[in-house]
Amino acid sequence: MLAQLKDHPFSVEAYFDYSIVLTFAYPKEQLAHLLPECLELETYQDKWAFLAVAIVQTKGLRPKGFPSFLGNDFLLTGYRLFVKYTDIRGKRLRGLYILKSETDKKLMETLGSIFTRYKYSTTDIVQQYSGSELLFNSDRSGFNIQLNRKNNDINLPVSSPFADWKEARRFAGPLPFTFSYNAKSKMVLIVEGVRENWMPQPIQVISYSIPYLSINGLDSGALANAFIIDNIQYSWKKGRTEIWR
């Protein structure tokens, strides 16, 4: 019964003040070992695979249908792989596989650990604004990202494998689905996200330090793109499960 609670047992909704995603490209062989057996990497030119670092400020996060005053506000960061999954109907789904999640409040860690398999921990994430610049910092995690959203004519990062922003937007996230896997039972959990008017805009990355990548041997990734989207309503459907093969 307790294990079933982790299967996203009810729909959830929230308002995003913003969602920022930095995506890093790696040779696909470098990320393959991080996936459970049921998933495949989503690739570009059959060479590059992608890991996203997301920062999301949520407001009023709550079970869907609950009044907004019962919701809670959280700052979330997450480390995710772009993946594909073929379901029991033979339909191929694009989505994300969560490696780790962090939040600025213990309540979110507790609730996330009970109702999801997204590996939450609490850290001291701080956000600062100065004109068009945004700074995110965590002393505990060593996390530091500096961004600038003033320039409307932003170039792709020089290290990006993409030819243009149109190609890069395919890996902007979030994708329609998020997947989890119980290797012992071979049970796949599929959670579908629902959003409207999702139009990510490029944002300039001035600097970044992300120790999680170094600790896990992933510090050699090339910054491929960075996007921001503001003021969006978002929800997640109740999770559904199926046996893999």
Q: Could you tell me which residues are beta bridge partners of residue 120?
A: 101
Position with higher pLDDT, 226 vs 174 = 226
pLDDT > 70? residue 197: yes
All structural domains of the chain: 2-243 (2.40.400.10)
DSSP state string for 51-81: EEEEEEEEEEEEETTS-GGG-EEEEEEEEEE
Specify the pTM: 0.94
pLDDT of the residue at 3: 67
What is the C-alpha to C-alpha distance for residues 218 and 16, in angstroms, rounded to an integer?
28
Put residue 188 in one of left, alpha, beta given phi > 0 → left and psi -120 to 50 → alpha.
Answer: beta
pLDDT score recorded for residue 62:
94
For the chain, give the mean pLDDT: 93
